[in-house]
Amino acid sequence: ETGVTQTPRHLVMGMTNKKSLKCEQHLGHNAMYWYKQSAKKPLELMFVYSLEERVENNSVPSRFSPECPNSSHLFLHLHTLQPEDSALYLCASSQTSGGSYEQYFGPGTRLTVT
């Protein structure tokens, strides 16, 4: 248990569906991250929120839309996805002050787009 939870753990959706992934951290951290992990590829950073402001957006298609309503919650809204978007989506959090670099990961959401 890392203090970062994600729901749902598994999601199957059609290409025309709209769904949202949720992440919650109970660590008092001030930064949250969305990563995508595809088979046989390194983790890809999608979005970074620091103090509830998006500070990084790594050329992610607009069918992925993040939302960070407060420092403990992070959402990833999904809309008209493609089969190649099937992957494990991992949320992480960290405390960016005090020189600490460690990120704490959630268990991930396994997304299958049909």
Partner 1 sequence: KNEVEQSPQNLTAQEGEFITINCSYSVGISALHWLQQHPGGGIVSLFMLSSGKKKHGRLIATINIQEKHSSLHITASHPRDSAVYICAVHNTDKLIFGTGTRLQVFP
Q: For the window 5-44, what string marks contact with partner 1 as x by the rule CB under 8 A?
A: --------------------------------x--xxxx-
Q: What is the rounded distance in angstroms from the CA atom of residue 43 to the CA atom of residue 109?
A: 14
Residues 6+ apart with CB under 8 A from 80: 15, 16, 18, 63
Q: What is the rounded distance in angstroms from the CA atom of residue 42 to the CA atom of residue 24?
A: 23
- Residue among 22, 65, 88, 95 that touches partner 1 (CB under 8 A): 88
90 binds partner 1 (CB under 8 A): yes
103 binds partner 1 (CB under 8 A): yes
Helices (H) and strands (E) in the chain, counts: 0, 11
Binding site for partner 1 (CB under 8 A): 2, 37, 40-43, 45, 48, 56, 88, 90, 92, 96, 101-108, 110
